[in-house]
Amino acid sequence: MTNIKIDETIIGRIARWAALNVTERAALLERPAVSQSEDIERRTAAIVRDVRSQGDSALRRYTRELDGYGGDSLVVTEDEWESALAKVSAAAWAALKRAADQIRRFHAAEKPQPLSVEVSPGIVCQRLWRPIARVGLYVPAGTAPLPSTLLMLAIPAEIAGCSERIVVTPVGPSGIPHPGILAAARLAGVSSIFKVGGAQAVAALAYGTASVPKVDKIYGPGNAYVTCA
């Protein structure tokens, strides 16, 4: 197997299991505690309600309040793509490409095939698979950038035949997604990325705004607010 040097500034912090003591291993495996679920549900419901009724105005307000990005543009521009991709090292590109190739190979192999059976003379029963036309893909980036999540969402959707793949991911004050996420998007053939995260992003995908298209189904992991939304 070829060894590929990992660029941790792009992929994220890597914990070396063999170098950790018992306490550090336990801390690494511990899941974040979820408390005050009623408060989370109440807050999430308010965010979803605001985005549904106020559209981009609420989306920008929550993005500024929760993510620190106060810009007007909610979509990643071509200049921002190029600026971010220039920061991705050759090692990171190689690692992401290898991951993309393996993900694509696996999901291509598991793609279901149409089934046609003549159950009686002249009577044919079929099982046909139809892709979802427009899917929303949520890629977390709050605790750590997850380019692998983008690859594992976008590539299966491409293989399934989804005609539109809309990615949302939170950004910080810079207003530009993590370079690793954009590199993964480029490898997966994704061109529509919006600078929104959290419950507000899920609401935008579910109901649509002037900037963010309404999708047919939403996929992806997230924190308690994202899951609740």
What confidence tens digit (pLDDT) does each residue in 117-175 have?
A: 999 999 999 999 999 999 999 999 877 789 999 999 999 999 999 999 999 999 989 89
Closest CA to 139 of 81, 186, 181, 92: 181
Question: Which amino acid is it at 63?
Answer: T
Identify the band that residue 1 occupies on the pLDDT scale cut at 50, 70 and 90. Answer: very low
Q: What is the DSSP string of 80-108?
A: HHHHHHTTS-HHHHHHHHHHHHHHHHHHH
Regarding predicted confidence, which is higher, 62 or 3? 62
Question: How confident is the model at residue 115, as a pLDDT?
Answer: 94
Q: Domain boundaries in the chain?
A: 36-228
pLDDT at 28 over 90: no
Question: What are the residues whose beta carbons fall under 8 Å from the beta carbon of 53, sequence distance 6 or more?
Answer: none
Homologous superfamily assigned to 36-228: Nitrogenase molybdenum iron protein domain (3.40.50.1980)
Cβ–Cβ under 8 Å, residues 158 and 165: yes
Who's near 213: CB < 8 A, 6+ residues apart? 134, 164, 166, 192, 205
Say if CB 103 and CB 188 are below 8 A apart.
no
